Chain A
């Protein structure tokens, strides 16, 4: 506030009475002005220094405001005394300006101050956040360090498979990592009722400490898989005698599961109830006021688990080493046994070979000389005696052969001689062999071969003959009167099975078929109890043995073995004593590929082919309504040397046929009938034979031979 004094011409009074007040106001205004001018300067100086101040415009405004205020106060100085109008004008201008700027600044501050306050809030927030992150960093670092320790420990523990090393290393490393005073491992004893101090880090215990396993503190530790703090005074922790001023450090115990091989099942991890546990006890240094921290406990738990795994690996390794040693021992023993067995077999074979020769030579002598003796003049008693000698000799020879065969069959050194042979010829020979014997006993023998039975088969002809002979021989032997019927056919899936051997299931293939032979006799029959014994060697039922039946009882046993070698089956069915019996056997034979005359062995035993390779001039009549067939059949017969006339119908046939024609071939096509039915009808009507087309040269040849030799086509093929 200024006082404006009117200017007058009077003498200027000196300072008025309130001059002091004025003086002070004057000085104050001066200082105010000074301050007001210096503040902006300071502001400018500091703002220039700092780079981050965002509100420069505000500063300018503020500066202007202050400057103007200062100016106002400065100008005020001049208004204390007399002042001209110019000063008044300047003063007014300054005030107006100041007013404007200050109002503007006031308005500006309304906007600025909340912003400035929020900056402060954010600063506080960020500080808090930073503190929190710091804390977390600390945690992570601790964890990472723990992890590093665990890995290192694990590495050390797992680097060996030796049990002792594992445990010792564990204790050492743990002790080092956690700076423990003592670390001990208690293992369960064999009985499982006590824990025994097995390993310690520092304390060498000469005496074996044991603690019963049923202590509550131990149960507490075992019942959880966490590390448990226990009292330093409990028996497992008291490893040294307490001495005076000890303030024992905190003790922690953790269980170590001892896993056995038997614990590892496929789907369940080992059960808790059956487990054995060891106990690991860790003690912090006494008088150190250290405490167990969470991450340290975690470390201990992890280590305990790793130790368990490492121990189980060691156990597995021990086990497998033991198993391997055992196997090696067994191997050696087996090898020895095998060599011994081989030696025994060799010795036996040598013996048999020698004996074979040694036994057979005298046998031959006996048999040969007895036969010779039979040819000479003998009295009836002498003849009887010689016959008995001969019979006994033969029996003995058969027995020797059988025994040798059987022993070879038993030890598996027997091999079938497989080759292609004539199946039909085999049966014919059998008949030739059996018929004379059977007719002596006034038994009729009937052989019937199925039409689809192949002419040639691949197998062991000699042994097959042996089988059939044996079976048929038995039939003849045990039949006093009646007939023997032999049927042979190809096994079909609907054929009857042996009720006692349901698992035998022959499956034919492209290269094999199963031959099935039934030998039925009307003889004495067999009781059901005796049937299983039939194939047992050396067993002969009393009811079967008559004075006249000889035999060692080996025959059927050998048959069975041959049949088995031929992948077949043999069995006997009988309805009881006096009701006859049927022997049935099935053997597997191969089907020869492309029956090739040049490859096949010349079959010497079939008498029909002997000497008959050609039929020169044989007058034959062929009737066939099919031109092609007629031509082919005619050429076949011409090739064999026949004189062939052909006709194409039954009527023509009747016209042409005469006494000169030795053979008439008639084509019979009866659609709808099977070949078998046709054949049966033909035979019934009196035809001498039926053959099925297409006919090969050989077939035609053999048919003609049979016709001419025996007036009948055998086997009806």
Chain B
């Protein structure tokens, strides 16, 4: 019993820290609310979908920026997509990185864009690892027989 409480507390602390540090925002909470018995893995599914999508987008971005003549409209479109998805799942920092990226796109600043891409990649991988940790904690709780605490 204690182990479960311990894990739950860890989960709560970790989640709180993610919110506090700006990795997640309210939208993530909304997603969690949508998860119920009829759709128990909704959040995991959506998050995985996000990461698949974003890998592709990041590759596309890298390619687009490596061109001799950069097609900023294309780059902007990709970043816009990225921004949309990240805000949908509540990945706040990723979304903010996208916003900054779009500014540089508007200014057609190649170095700025490259920098932003790096930043975006960083935030993306950071988010990924954090969420993986979170899901692992969830699995541990469930495996131990407990229930995942709902974040209000």
Contact = CB atoms under 8 A, between A and B. Distances in A.
B8 interface: no
A671 B80 contact: yes
B31 interface: yes
A697 B30 contact: yes
A697 B33 contact: yes
B81 A626 contact: yes
A595 B88 CA distance: 17
B102 interface: yes
Contacts of A639: 33-34, 36
B46 A631 contact: yes
Given A628-B49, A631-B46, A635-B39, A671 B33 contact: no
B110 to A, nearest CB: 18
Given A598-B152, A671-B102, A694-B27, A632 B89 contact: yes
B89 A628 contact: yes
B109 to A, nearest CB: 16
Given A628-B89, A671-B73, A671-B102, A697 B46 contact: no
Interface in B105-129: 106
B34 A636 contact: yes
B30 to A, nearest CB: 5
B53 interface: yes
B34 A629 contact: no
Interface string A581-618: 00000000000001110100000000000000000000
Contact of A696 (B26, B45, B76): B26
Interface in B17-38: 26-27, 30-31, 33-34, 36
B30 A627 contact: no
Contacts of A633: 88
Contacts of A671: 73, 76-77, 80, 102
Interface residues of A, number: 24
A487 to B, nearest CB: 27
B91 to A, nearest CB: 10
A640 to B, nearest CB: 10
A412 interface: no
Contacts of A635: 31, 34, 39, 42, 46
B111 to A, nearest CB: 21
Contact of B76 (A638, A672, A693): A672
Chain B residues touching A, range: 20 to 34
B86 to A, nearest CB: 8
A12 to B, nearest CB: 153
B140 to A, nearest CB: 25
B88 A694 contact: yes
Nearest to A624: B84
A600 to B, nearest CB: 12
Contacts of A625: 81
Contact of B84 (A594, A596, A669): A669
Nearest to B91: A628
A667 B85 CA distance: 12
Contacts of A667: 84
Interface string A621-649: 00001111101110110110000000000
Nearest to B102: A671
Contacts of A594: 26
B34 A697 contact: yes
Interface centre among A595, A596, A671 (most CB of B within 10 A): A671
Contact of A632 (B39, B88, B102): B88
Interface in B91-147: 102, 106
Contacts of A629: 84-85, 88
Contacts of A636: 30, 34
A628 B33 contact: no
B106 A672 contact: yes
Nearest to A625: B81
Nearest to B54: A628
B151 to A, nearest CB: 11
A688 B50 CA distance: 30
Interface of B: 26-27, 30-31, 33-34, 36, 39, 42, 45-46, 49-50, 53, 73, 76-77, 80-81, 84-85, 87-90, 102, 106, 152
6 contacts: A625-B81, A628-B53, A639-B34, A639-B36, A671-B76, A694-B87
Interface of A: 594-596, 598, 625-629, 631-633, 635-636, 638-639, 667, 669, 671-672, 693-694, 696-697
5 pairs of A and B residues whose beta carbons are closest in the complex: A628-B85, A694-B27, A632-B88, A671-B76, A635-B34
Given A628-B50, A667-B84, A694-B90, 7 more contacts: A598-B152, A626-B84, A629-B85, A631-B45, A631-B46, A632-B89, A671-B76
